[in-house]
Amino acid sequence: EVQLVESGGGLVQPGGSLRLSCAASGFTFSKSWMSWVRQAPGKGLEWVANIKPDGGEQYYVDSVKGRFTISRDNVKSSLYLQVNSLRAEDTAVYYCARDVVVITAAHYFDSWGQGTLVTVSS
């Protein structure tokens, strides 16, 4: 059974940083594209970033470019999101998800974690 378990969320002041983690099990992590998707309070889902199986390529939504960094450790079957220069609008539940790649650039998500809450407030 595929399991994705996020951790690392919390309350942080504007301008602060956090490192989110996602522990994966039940599938061959090193062969899977992985994503972070977030949901702000009262809002819909927003794809944030994803990373190629070997970690060699990363893609980001424009609003987080230069502030967030996605990475992975295939030995530990873990996905990470370093979030820096946080803003109030980054407040959200952050989900780890496994990508299904149909063709290049065509991704949807077949497994999700339960999320970790990041609250940016002074």
Partner 1 sequence: EIVMTQSPATLSVSPGERATLSCRTSQSVNSNLAWYQHKPGQAPRLLIYGASTRATGAPARFSGSGSGTEFTLTISNLQSEDFALYYCQQFHNWPLAFGGGTKVEIK
Residues that bind partner 1 (CB under 8 A): 4, 37, 43-47, 59, 61-62, 95, 97, 100, 102, 105-115
Give 33 or 77: the residue with its C-beta nearer to partner 1.
Answer: 33
Residues counted in the chain: 122
Minimum Å gap between C-beta 93 and partner 1 is 9
Minimum Å gap between C-beta 66 and partner 1 is 15
SS3 breakdown of the chain: % helix, strand, coil, rounded to 5? 5, 55, 35
Give the SS3 label for residue 122.
coil
Give 86 or 115: the residue with its C-beta nearer to partner 1.
Answer: 115
Give 40 or 55: the residue with its C-beta nearer to partner 1.
Answer: 40
Give 80 or 116: the residue with its C-beta nearer to partner 1.
Answer: 116
Residue type, 94: Y
Minimum Å gap between C-beta 36 and partner 1 is 12
Is 64 in contact with 40 (CB distance < 8 Å)?
Answer: no
Q: List the strands of the sheet with 78-83, edge to edge.
A: 3-7, 18-25, 78-83, 68-73
